Amino acid sequence: MEITLNHGVEYEIVDPVSVEDLVKSIEAHARLLRATSDLISELVPGLQIETKKVSVVYLSQQSPLKEAFAVGLYLTYQKELEKEVPELIEALTNTKIPDRYDTLVTVLVMLVAIYGISKALDTLFPGKSKANIEETKESLTSQAAKIIGVTSKRLIVALEVLFKGRSERVLVNSSQKMFAPTRNQTFASIRDARGQVLVGQDATRDAQAASGLPYEIEDNDDAETSSQFHQGVRIILHAMDKDRKKSGWAGHCPDLFDERIPMHLEKTLKPEKIFGHDEIKGDILLTSEEDAEGKMVAKEFLLIQAYM
Protein backbone atom coordinates (compact mmCIF):
# COMPACT_ATOMS: atom_id res chain seq x y z
CA MET A 1 0.00 0.00 0.00
CA GLU A 2 1.07 3.60 -0.57
CA ILE A 3 1.20 6.18 2.21
CA THR A 4 2.43 9.76 2.54
CA LEU A 5 4.26 11.19 5.54
CA ASN A 6 5.34 14.76 6.17
CA HIS A 7 8.66 16.15 7.31
CA GLY A 8 9.57 19.71 8.13
CA VAL A 9 12.23 21.71 9.95
CA GLU A 10 12.92 25.31 10.89
CA TYR A 11 16.45 26.70 10.89
CA GLU A 12 16.67 29.36 13.60
CA ILE A 13 19.05 31.81 11.89
CA VAL A 14 19.43 35.55 11.46
CA ASP A 15 21.32 36.16 8.23
CA PRO A 16 20.05 35.20 4.74
CA VAL A 17 21.12 31.77 3.45
CA SER A 18 22.92 31.50 0.13
CA VAL A 19 21.20 29.64 -2.70
CA GLU A 20 24.08 27.16 -2.70
CA ASP A 21 23.61 26.25 0.97
CA LEU A 22 19.84 26.14 0.57
CA VAL A 23 20.11 23.65 -2.30
CA LYS A 24 22.56 21.54 -0.29
CA SER A 25 20.12 21.30 2.60
CA ILE A 26 17.21 20.33 0.35
CA GLU A 27 19.31 17.60 -1.25
CA ALA A 28 20.36 16.41 2.21
CA HIS A 29 16.78 16.18 3.47
CA ALA A 30 15.77 14.17 0.39
CA ARG A 31 18.68 11.75 0.81
CA LEU A 32 18.19 11.26 4.53
CA LEU A 33 14.43 10.79 4.11
CA ARG A 34 15.24 7.80 1.89
CA ALA A 35 17.71 6.55 4.49
CA THR A 36 15.01 6.84 7.16
CA SER A 37 12.82 4.39 5.22
CA ASP A 38 15.68 1.88 5.24
CA LEU A 39 16.23 2.51 8.95
CA ILE A 40 12.60 1.74 9.88
CA SER A 41 12.67 -1.41 7.74
CA GLU A 42 15.83 -2.50 9.57
CA LEU A 43 14.23 -1.78 12.95
CA VAL A 44 11.07 -3.81 12.33
CA PRO A 45 11.83 -7.19 10.67
CA GLY A 46 8.99 -8.09 8.31
CA LEU A 47 8.20 -4.45 7.53
CA GLN A 48 9.46 -3.15 4.19
CA ILE A 49 9.27 0.56 3.34
CA GLU A 50 10.35 1.84 -0.07
CA THR A 51 10.62 5.56 -0.79
CA LYS A 52 8.81 6.39 -4.02
CA LYS A 53 9.07 10.19 -4.14
CA VAL A 54 10.25 13.11 -2.02
CA SER A 55 8.59 16.46 -2.77
CA VAL A 56 9.17 20.00 -1.50
CA VAL A 57 5.86 21.23 -0.08
CA TYR A 58 6.88 24.58 1.38
CA LEU A 59 10.00 26.73 1.44
CA SER A 60 10.38 30.09 3.17
CA GLN A 61 13.52 32.22 3.24
CA GLN A 62 12.15 34.34 6.06
CA SER A 63 13.56 34.00 9.57
CA PRO A 64 13.33 31.19 10.56
CA LEU A 65 14.17 29.36 7.33
CA LYS A 66 11.43 26.75 6.87
CA GLU A 67 11.64 23.63 4.73
CA ALA A 68 8.72 21.20 4.44
CA PHE A 69 8.60 17.93 2.50
CA ALA A 70 6.18 15.14 1.66
CA VAL A 71 7.55 11.63 1.23
CA GLY A 72 5.59 9.01 -0.67
CA LEU A 73 6.20 5.49 0.59
CA TYR A 74 5.28 1.99 -0.53
CA LEU A 75 4.61 -0.21 2.48
CA THR A 76 4.47 -4.00 2.78
CA TYR A 77 4.47 -6.07 5.97
CA GLN A 78 4.08 -9.58 7.26
CA LYS A 79 0.68 -10.39 8.79
CA GLU A 80 2.29 -11.36 12.10
CA LEU A 81 3.27 -7.75 12.72
CA GLU A 82 -0.40 -6.88 13.35
CA LYS A 83 0.03 -8.78 16.64
CA GLU A 84 3.69 -7.97 17.35
CA VAL A 85 3.56 -4.19 16.78
CA PRO A 86 -0.18 -3.50 16.44
CA GLU A 87 -0.01 0.22 17.23
CA LEU A 88 2.64 0.89 14.57
CA ILE A 89 0.89 -1.12 11.84
CA GLU A 90 -2.54 0.30 12.66
CA ALA A 91 -1.18 3.85 12.56
CA LEU A 92 0.66 3.45 9.24
CA THR A 93 -2.30 1.76 7.54
CA ASN A 94 -4.92 4.15 8.89
CA THR A 95 -6.76 6.51 6.55
CA LYS A 96 -5.44 9.41 8.63
CA ILE A 97 -1.94 8.75 9.95
CA PRO A 98 -1.43 10.25 13.45
CA ASP A 99 0.72 13.39 13.58
CA ARG A 100 3.27 11.71 15.83
CA TYR A 101 4.46 9.62 12.88
CA ASP A 102 5.24 12.78 10.92
CA THR A 103 7.18 13.81 14.02
CA LEU A 104 8.90 10.40 13.99
CA VAL A 105 10.12 10.92 10.43
CA THR A 106 11.60 14.31 11.30
CA VAL A 107 13.25 13.00 14.47
CA LEU A 108 14.78 10.06 12.56
CA VAL A 109 16.06 12.31 9.77
CA MET A 110 17.81 14.54 12.30
CA LEU A 111 19.08 11.50 14.22
CA VAL A 112 20.73 10.15 11.06
CA ALA A 113 22.21 13.61 10.45
CA ILE A 114 23.61 13.88 13.98
CA TYR A 115 25.01 10.34 13.76
CA GLY A 116 26.70 11.29 10.48
CA ILE A 117 28.11 14.52 11.92
CA SER A 118 29.50 12.53 14.84
CA LYS A 119 31.37 10.31 12.39
CA ALA A 120 32.65 13.36 10.51
CA LEU A 121 33.96 14.89 13.73
CA ASP A 122 35.76 11.64 14.61
CA THR A 123 37.62 11.79 11.29
CA LEU A 124 38.15 15.53 10.91
CA PHE A 125 38.83 16.43 14.55
CA PRO A 126 40.10 13.32 16.39
CA GLY A 127 39.88 13.76 20.13
CA LYS A 128 37.54 16.75 19.99
CA SER A 129 34.80 16.65 22.61
CA LYS A 130 31.43 15.57 21.22
CA ALA A 131 29.46 16.02 24.43
CA ASN A 132 26.86 18.29 22.82
CA ILE A 133 26.47 16.01 19.80
CA GLU A 134 26.19 12.91 21.99
CA GLU A 135 23.58 14.55 24.22
CA THR A 136 21.52 15.46 21.16
CA LYS A 137 21.89 11.95 19.74
CA GLU A 138 20.66 10.41 23.00
CA SER A 139 17.66 12.75 23.09
CA LEU A 140 16.63 12.04 19.48
CA THR A 141 17.21 8.30 19.94
CA SER A 142 14.99 8.23 23.03
CA GLN A 143 12.18 10.12 21.27
CA ALA A 144 12.21 7.89 18.18
CA ALA A 145 12.53 4.63 20.11
CA LYS A 146 9.51 5.52 22.25
CA ILE A 147 7.28 6.16 19.21
CA ILE A 148 8.37 3.02 17.34
CA GLY A 149 8.27 0.81 20.42
CA VAL A 150 11.89 -0.41 20.44
CA THR A 151 14.81 0.11 22.80
CA SER A 152 17.32 2.90 22.26
CA LYS A 153 20.06 0.29 22.03
CA ARG A 154 18.23 -1.46 19.20
CA LEU A 155 17.88 1.83 17.34
CA ILE A 156 21.62 2.56 17.64
CA VAL A 157 22.43 -0.89 16.26
CA ALA A 158 20.17 -0.20 13.27
CA LEU A 159 22.00 3.10 12.71
CA GLU A 160 25.30 1.25 12.70
CA VAL A 161 23.96 -1.06 10.01
CA LEU A 162 22.71 1.90 7.98
CA PHE A 163 26.19 3.44 7.91
CA LYS A 164 27.98 0.22 6.93
CA GLY A 165 30.18 0.01 3.85
CA ARG A 166 29.78 2.34 0.90
CA SER A 167 26.74 4.05 2.44
CA GLU A 168 28.88 5.75 5.07
CA ARG A 169 30.42 8.40 2.83
CA VAL A 170 27.10 9.28 1.18
CA LEU A 171 25.26 9.57 4.49
CA VAL A 172 28.01 11.54 6.21
CA ASN A 173 28.22 13.97 3.29
CA SER A 174 24.44 14.42 3.39
CA SER A 175 24.63 14.99 7.16
CA GLN A 176 27.16 17.75 6.59
CA LYS A 177 24.94 19.38 3.95
CA MET A 178 22.03 19.30 6.40
CA PHE A 179 23.80 21.96 8.45
CA ALA A 180 24.84 24.11 5.46
CA PRO A 181 22.22 26.83 6.18
CA THR A 182 23.68 27.33 9.68
CA ARG A 183 27.22 28.08 8.54
CA ASN A 184 28.53 31.47 9.66
CA GLN A 185 25.34 31.93 11.66
CA THR A 186 25.54 32.80 15.35
CA PHE A 187 23.22 31.12 17.85
CA ALA A 188 21.68 28.86 15.18
CA SER A 189 19.50 25.87 16.03
CA ILE A 190 17.15 23.47 14.27
CA ARG A 191 13.52 22.87 15.28
CA ASP A 192 10.70 20.70 14.00
CA ALA A 193 7.61 22.16 12.31
CA ARG A 194 5.94 22.63 15.70
CA GLY A 195 8.86 24.64 17.05
CA GLN A 196 10.34 21.92 19.27
CA VAL A 197 14.14 22.09 19.43
CA LEU A 198 15.79 19.09 17.78
CA VAL A 199 19.38 20.34 17.62
CA GLY A 200 20.23 23.09 20.09
CA GLN A 201 22.67 25.94 19.67
CA ASP A 202 25.67 24.18 21.22
CA ALA A 203 25.28 21.02 19.12
CA THR A 204 24.64 23.09 15.98
CA ARG A 205 27.82 25.08 16.65
CA ASP A 206 29.81 21.83 16.86
CA ALA A 207 28.17 20.53 13.69
CA GLN A 208 29.04 23.76 11.86
CA ALA A 209 32.73 22.99 12.34
CA ALA A 210 32.41 19.81 10.27
CA SER A 211 29.72 20.86 7.81
CA GLY A 212 31.96 22.56 5.25
CA LEU A 213 34.99 20.26 5.29
CA PRO A 214 35.55 17.34 2.90
CA TYR A 215 34.94 13.96 4.51
CA GLU A 216 37.06 11.21 3.06
CA ILE A 217 37.37 7.59 4.08
CA GLU A 218 39.78 5.06 2.66
CA ASP A 219 38.52 3.41 -0.48
CA ASN A 220 37.89 -0.24 0.23
CA ASP A 221 38.74 -2.52 -2.66
CA ASP A 222 38.11 -5.61 -0.56
CA ALA A 223 35.10 -7.86 -0.88
CA GLU A 224 31.62 -6.39 -0.37
CA THR A 225 30.22 -6.84 3.14
CA SER A 226 26.72 -6.57 4.55
CA SER A 227 25.13 -6.69 8.00
CA GLN A 228 21.68 -7.92 8.99
CA PHE A 229 19.82 -7.98 12.29
CA HIS A 230 18.12 -11.23 13.34
CA GLN A 231 15.86 -11.68 16.36
CA GLY A 232 15.44 -14.74 18.55
CA VAL A 233 17.78 -17.03 16.61
CA ARG A 234 19.14 -20.34 17.89
CA ILE A 235 22.88 -20.09 18.64
CA ILE A 236 25.19 -23.06 19.21
CA LEU A 237 28.25 -22.02 21.24
CA HIS A 238 31.25 -24.02 20.06
CA ALA A 239 34.14 -22.01 21.40
CA MET A 240 33.93 -20.55 24.87
CA ASP A 241 36.42 -20.02 27.65
CA LYS A 242 36.35 -23.76 28.35
CA ASP A 243 38.06 -24.79 25.11
CA ARG A 244 39.50 -21.66 23.46
CA LYS A 245 40.35 -19.22 26.21
CA LYS A 246 42.61 -16.99 24.12
CA SER A 247 40.36 -16.82 21.07
CA GLY A 248 37.21 -15.64 22.81
CA TRP A 249 33.75 -16.66 21.66
CA ALA A 250 32.50 -18.41 18.54
CA GLY A 251 29.36 -20.18 17.40
CA HIS A 252 26.93 -20.87 14.62
CA CYS A 253 23.23 -20.37 13.99
CA PRO A 254 21.76 -23.47 12.28
CA ASP A 255 18.87 -21.53 10.74
CA LEU A 256 21.24 -19.00 9.14
CA PHE A 257 24.63 -20.68 8.55
CA ASP A 258 26.51 -23.86 9.49
CA GLU A 259 30.14 -22.85 9.89
CA ARG A 260 31.56 -21.85 13.24
CA ILE A 261 32.45 -18.15 13.10
CA PRO A 262 33.66 -15.51 15.60
CA MET A 263 31.03 -14.15 17.99
CA HIS A 264 31.45 -10.81 19.74
CA LEU A 265 29.46 -9.65 22.74
CA GLU A 266 27.69 -6.28 22.83
CA LYS A 267 29.59 -4.20 25.40
CA THR A 268 26.71 -4.17 27.92
CA LEU A 269 26.27 -7.96 27.73
CA LYS A 270 28.18 -9.72 30.51
CA PRO A 271 30.03 -12.96 29.52
CA GLU A 272 28.83 -14.57 32.74
CA LYS A 273 25.29 -14.57 31.39
CA ILE A 274 26.09 -17.13 28.68
CA PHE A 275 29.08 -18.90 30.23
CA GLY A 276 28.42 -22.60 30.71
CA HIS A 277 25.67 -22.79 28.07
CA ASP A 278 26.13 -24.83 24.90
CA GLU A 279 23.03 -23.38 23.26
CA ILE A 280 21.09 -20.14 23.66
CA LYS A 281 18.68 -17.91 21.78
CA GLY A 282 19.51 -14.32 21.05
CA ASP A 283 19.34 -11.20 18.89
CA ILE A 284 22.37 -10.86 16.63
CA LEU A 285 23.92 -8.54 14.05
CA LEU A 286 25.34 -10.85 11.38
CA THR A 287 28.12 -9.63 9.09
CA SER A 288 28.59 -11.43 5.77
CA GLU A 289 31.27 -11.05 3.12
CA GLU A 290 31.30 -11.72 -0.60
CA ASP A 291 33.44 -14.74 -1.54
CA ALA A 292 35.34 -15.39 -4.78
CA GLU A 293 32.15 -16.66 -6.44
CA GLY A 294 30.16 -13.58 -5.48
CA LYS A 295 28.17 -15.34 -2.74
CA MET A 296 27.62 -13.74 0.65
CA VAL A 297 29.20 -15.87 3.40
CA ALA A 298 28.72 -15.36 7.14
CA LYS A 299 31.94 -14.05 8.70
CA GLU A 300 31.13 -12.94 12.26
CA PHE A 301 28.26 -11.85 14.44
CA LEU A 302 27.57 -9.54 17.35
CA LEU A 303 25.42 -10.97 20.15
CA ILE A 304 23.21 -8.08 21.28
CA GLN A 305 20.79 -9.84 23.62
CA ALA A 306 20.79 -13.38 25.01
CA TYR A 307 17.79 -15.46 26.14
CA MET A 308 18.32 -18.56 28.26
The predicted structure's pLDDT at residue 285: 92
The predicted structure's pLDDT at residue 294: 55
Q: What confidence tens digit (pLDDT) does each residue in 78-122 have?
A: 888 887 777 888 888 887 888 888 899 999 999 999 999 999 999
Rounded Cα gap, residues 261 and 300, in angstroms: 5
Q: Which residues pair with 265 in a beta bridge?
A: 303
Q: Which residues pair with 197 in a beta bridge?
A: 191
Burial of 169 (0-12, 13-18, 19+ CB in 10 A): middle
Contacts of residue 270, Cβ cutoff 8 Å, sequence gap at least 6 = none
Question: What percent of the chain lies above the pLDDT cut of 90?
Answer: 51
Rounded Cα gap, residues 208 and 58, in angstroms: 25
Rounded Cα gap, residues 214 and 182, in angstroms: 17
Nearest residue to 208 (alpha-carbon basis) of 137, 113, 105: 113
The predicted structure's pLDDT at residue 223: 56
The predicted structure's pLDDT at residue 249: 86
Q: Cα angle vertex 267, ends 264, 271, to 5°?
A: 65
The predicted structure's pLDDT at residue 93: 83
Confidence band of 165 (pLDDT split at 50, 70, 90): confident
Q: What confidence tens digit (pLDDT) does each residue in 11-62 have?
A: 999 999 999 999 999 999 999 999 999 999 888 888 888 898 999 999 998 7
Q: Which of the pair, 184 or 36, is modelled with greater confidence?
A: 36
Structural domains of the chain ordered from first start: 2-211 (no CATH), 225-307 (2.40.50)
- 16 with 168: CB under 8 angstroms? no
Is 303 a residue whose pLDDT tops 60?
A: yes
One DSSP character per residue, 270-302 reads -GGGTTT-SEEEEEEEEEEEE-TTS-EEEEEEE
Amino acid residing at 216: E
Question: What percent of the chain lies above the pLDDT cut of 70?
Answer: 92
pTM over 0.85: no
